Every structure is written in C-alpha cells, then in structure tokens.
Chain A
Amino acid sequence: MADVNRGNRPLSPFMIGPYYRPQMTSISSIMVRITGIASLGSVFLVICWFLAAATSESAFNCFNDLYGSWIGNIVMLAAAWAIWYHMLGRVRHVIWDFGYCLDVETSEKMGWGMFIGATVLTVLTALVFLIF
C-alpha cells in the first residue's frame, strides 16, 4: 500500500539537520548545486553589462563603473570563485559518472581539491587582471 501516503512524502532536504551528519563528500557536492544556482545570477549580471554596452555609452558607463568599483570587484571575485568551484565540482561528477574514483578517500581528496583549486584559480584570476 505504498500509495496511501501519496503527496505527503518528505522532499529531498528533510534528512539534513536532525538525522544527517554533514560530511566532506556531501557538503562539497551540495556546494556544487549552490554555486550552480548562484552562477545563473552571475550570468544575469553579465548580460545586464552586455545589454548596457549595446544600448548607449552612458548606460555602459553606469554599469561599467559599478562593476569596476570595489564592491563590484568583490562581487566579481565571489562570482569567479563560484563558477571555478562549480566547474571543478562538475568535473568530479563526470569522473564519478564514468566509474572512476568512487572510493570515499579519493572522493574526499577531490572535494578538498575543489575548495583549494577554486580558491587558487580565483587568486590567479585576480593576479592576472592586476598585472595585465
């Protein structure tokens, strides 16, 4: 009688908190989803800049100055970290999907690799634009 409970079943995040102890593998995977959704917000900001540039010089200057300000730079660095992290996390999922590195120890190492890798890539990105 599985259908008795139709429509009143718990949806996905019900385990987190009371029953589920956060782990390296799960948190790094949840972060892939969060950074993915956040990156769609970043894309929205990017498209605003493009649309302003296509509209007029004054509209472009408004957005360009905002994105070039220190608040804009902090938001862009955060957005860069998020998309770097998402890219690395998605590579980990592809490796898993192809059947490799499925043991816990390697998965945890790859999880640390995502956090550290995204941070290193963000710092490198910032350095590249500071130098050039």
Chain B
Amino acid sequence: MNYLTDRKRATGLGAGHTGAAHHWLTIATSISLAILVPLFIFTFGYAVGHSYEEVLAFYSNPCIAIITALCLVGGIIHLKTEVDEAVEDYIGGIKRKLTLIAVAGFCYALMATGLFALLKLAIQ
C-alpha cells in the first residue's frame, strides 16, 4: 500500500523549495494587522506630544507595554515579508541575495532596538 499523499510528493518542489510558507506568513500576519494597527495607532498617537513624565507613566502600564511590543514585533515581521517580496520581484542575482540580507538586518535591528527601548521605558 502506498501511504504517500499527493501533498507529500509535492512538498519542496516549488521554485524556492519553501512551498507556500512565505505566502502563508503574509496571510497570517495580514490578519494580525487588522488588530495590531488600530491598537498601535491609538496608543502611540496618544503618547506622542505628551510630556516625558506622562510618556514614562503611560508605557509603565503593563497592558500598554505588552500591546506596543506585540505591535512592533508583529508589524515588523509583516513588513519584512512585504519588502522581501518586493526585493525578490525587482532585483536579481547577487544583488537580490545581498539586499535580502540587508533588509533582514535592518528589520531585526529595528525589532531589537524597539524592544530594548520599550523595556527600559516600562521598568524605569
């Protein structure tokens, strides 16, 4: 008896050998945006323009700090899929590889910096 399914035989055969993983990540993070974007716009928009003490107090609230951390990480993961897709469409060869690495470096640097700054604000 043959237990191999059609799906199993197709796995890994796409041009990028990653199947629909990138597309699925885009779909999943797109849905998360519908929750994260309103939360971020209204929390960050409220904080900007307030005094230093008020901003410190605002981000010391655990709910606000956790929401902001989720928005930064989730948002950057989504935007990285977006920029990666554009790079793969418009740039070829060695330039594509180097640009993808640079984009990943930029995105992860933003994530690490944002989380560090947020953590420092939250526990200060």
Contacts and interface: CB of A to CB of B under 8 A. Distances in A.
Q: Are A and B part of the same complex?
A: yes
A51 interface: yes
Given A80-B41, A87-B37, A90-B33, A67 B49 contact: yes
Nearest to B79: A40
A50 B45 contact: no
Given A40-B82, A90-B78, A93-B30, 13 more contacts: A7-B93, A11-B92, A40-B110, A43-B110, A46-B44, A46-B114, A83-B41, A84-B41, A90-B33, A90-B34, A125-B45, A128-B45, A129-B46
18 contacts: A11-B89, A11-B90, A12-B90, A36-B82, A40-B83, A43-B110, A43-B114, A46-B114, A50-B118, A50-B121, A53-B52, A53-B55, A54-B118, A57-B52, A64-B52, A76-B45, A84-B37, A86-B33
Contacts of B44: 46
Contacts of B86: 33, 36-37
A76 B83 contact: no
Nearest to A125: B41
Contact of A90 (B30, B48, B59, B124): B30
A55 to B, nearest CB: 8
B113 A51 contact: yes
Given A36-B79, A36-B83, A128-B42, A68 B33 contact: no
Nearest to A72: B48
Interface residues of B, number: 46
B107 interface: yes
Nearest to A59: B52
Nearest to B118: A50
A100 interface: no
Interface in A64-110: 64, 67-68, 76, 80, 83-84, 86-87, 90-91, 93-94, 97
Q: By DSSP majority rule, is chain A's interface helix, strand, loop, or mixed?
A: helix
Contacts of A44: 110
Contacts of A33: 82, 85-86
B110 A68 contact: no
B110 A47 contact: yes
B48 A49 contact: yes
Nearest to B59: A53
B27 interface: yes
